[in-house]
Amino acid sequence: MPEDTLFAEVLDPRNRADPYPIYARLRRTPVARQRDGAYVVSTHAAIRSLLFDPRLSSEDLPPSRRPPTGNPLKDWLLNPIKNRIANAHRPLIFRDPPDHDTLRGFVMSEFTIARVNDLHGRVAALVDGLIETCRGRDTVCLVDDLSYPLPVAVICDLLGVPEQDEPQFHAWATRLATALEPDARRDEEARRATVETFDAIADYMRALIRQKRRQPADDMLSGLARRGTRDRPAMGDVDLIATAVLLLVAGHETTVNLITNGMLTLLRHPDELARLKADPERAPRVIEELLRYEPPVHFRSRKTLGDIAVAGATIPKGAPVILLFAAGNRDPERFSEPDRFDPDRADIQHFGFGGGLHYCVGAPLARIEAEIALVALCRRLRDPKLLADPPPYRPGASLRGPENLGIRIAGIL
Ligand code: HEM
């Protein structure tokens, strides 16, 4: 396989279960131009230098275009206005400074460590309740039984989305998460479906924000929706909706993958599972190594604002760039025995949460959820065994994770 088509191999769902040998081949050319003109960056050093390079832009999302409806008022007036507004108010993950920094500042003022730490008890109770529902069964379907419902409940709780509306978010979040995949970006039909989903979720959020303004509660959305004053400006409504949608989506599939990949890895390494069960204090190490070894987000894309020389290559201005985090995480130049799962390694500087300006704002929350879930699963599932290895995977190459994870158990403790 020539190196200028290797990334197509990464996207091929048949390679989802084990993309790491392809990443090793990509790393031989740290900056590899693909036939479609995109540059794939796969070594730790090159990814790191680009993550901190202001000539790399995150504003790489294709413009939103609403499909023709046959209604001239919509097609010629309303939808073009909606498109223009949506394009000017992308969520912060698709924005560059200074707008990115302003929007991120608003989020960080509400997404405080104290607020996240307060969720400890709630997360533990949710995990216990979800495991309890598996009592009496001999099989756990981890995604359906725990990995999915947990992050959804937590993010809805944090934002202040009423519990009865949670199920609605399943389809919306899944649809919007697939919009991050390169294939979906190229597919016109998929882009239209994304726009429709965004409109539906945005309408819901607009109504919820109105309600939070009438009756503020102690949740993030109420905080973000507070009207501005002369001393304390507030986020505009369109940005507020885009931010709320981003928080809901970014906190979904990613955390699902971390918990599911985590249990899969521990079941493949029973000695590590036993050690975590005996010593829950090991959880932070285990989670960091998981974020390196089996990260939930394999790559993110960018666009160059100027020519950039990196790792002996020059990426021309305007080129799409793929930062292949999961390949950097397994770079032998950076980590000794990178293909070994070893929570005791001394230095785990992974790209699991990205890096630089766009470093994940949800990292502390994701860590808490994964630690509590994995410790509880190791302690409470009796004699857990994988039903299938490898398990079936969802098609996404960037947000990569098992569709479900069947675990045979001898009971619940
Ligand atoms: C295991 C779980 C998670 C993983 C692996 C993860 C991973 C990432 C990564 C790799 C990025 C960087 C994107 C880029 O460079 O373009 C990112 C950004 C982001 N994440 Fe997460 N994430 C997780 C959970 C969460 C949660 C729970 C939330 C919120 C509730 C969240 C909110 C965000 C936001 C808002 C950004 C954009 C930050 C910015 O552009 O400044 N994430 N995440």
pLDDT of residue 20: 98
Relative to the CA of 248, which ligand 1 atom is closest? Answer: 30
Quick one: pLDDT at residue 170? Answer: 74
Which pLDDT belongs to residue 407?
A: 97
| Other C-beta atoms lying within 10 Å of the C-beta of residue 116 | 20
CA-closest residue to ligand 1 atom 14: 358
| Ligand 1 pocket residue status of 254, Cβ below 6 Å | yes
Ligand 1 binding pocket includes 202 (Cβ within 6 Å):
no
| Distance in Å, CA 363 to ligand 1 centroid | 7
Say yes or no: CB of residue 373 within 6 Å of ligand 1: no
Closest CA to 91 of 219, 227, 240: 240
- Name the stretches of the chain with pLDDT < 50: none
Whole-number pLDDT of residue 357: 95
What pLDDT score does 183 carry?
Answer: 64
Sheet holding 385-386, edge to edge: 139-141, 406-408, 385-386
pLDDT computed for residue 180 by the predictor: 65
Domains in the chain: ranges and CATH: 3-408 (1.10.630.10)
